[in-house]
Amino acid sequence: MFEVPEDRKYQESHEYATTDGETATIGITDFAQDELGDVVFVELPAVGDEITQNEAFGVVESIKAVSDLYAPISGTVTAVNEELFDRPELVNEDPYGDGWMLEIDVADESAFDDLLSAEEYREQTE
């Protein structure tokens, strides 16, 4: 069984977003990192870049595949987890913690309504 924390929302393409009200943290789910296998490279946008909901914002490369990362919500990148450039395996080890990818200023809070709840995401991945 994969970890699916209740405190975030999920996208069908296996990215998550969690917010404290102003800033959202984005990454990939436990299910996604398991499907990918050992992550060896992560390509992310720069601070100041705009990302758009449902559009690709980066790439994650594993020993099995190269996959685009899709933005669960739109906004402006305020932080990038630069630790992933040297230690991409953090995505596998702790996708909801040290393996986070981006922080953004959320363009529209209502975009969270378009995402899956933890229960809906669990059902999708069973």
* pLDDT tens readout for residues 62-76: 999 999 999 999 999
What pLDDT is recorded for position 1?
A: 78
Specify the 3-state DSSP secondary structure of 5: coil
Evaluate whether 71 touches 53 at the Cβ level (below 8 Å).
yes
What pLDDT is recorded for position 78?
A: 98
Q: What is the pTM of this model?
A: 0.95
For the chain, give the mean pLDDT.
96
User: Per the domain annotation, does 24 fall within a domain?
Assistant: yes
- In angstroms, the CA 123 to CA 117 distance is 10
User: Per the domain annotation, does 69 fall within a domain?
Assistant: yes
* pLDDT tens readout for residues 41-51: 999 999 999 99
pLDDT of residue 20 exceeding 90, the answer is no
User: Per the domain annotation, does 21 fall within a domain?
Assistant: yes
- Domain range for 94 is 9-106
CATH code assigned at 79: 2.40.50.100
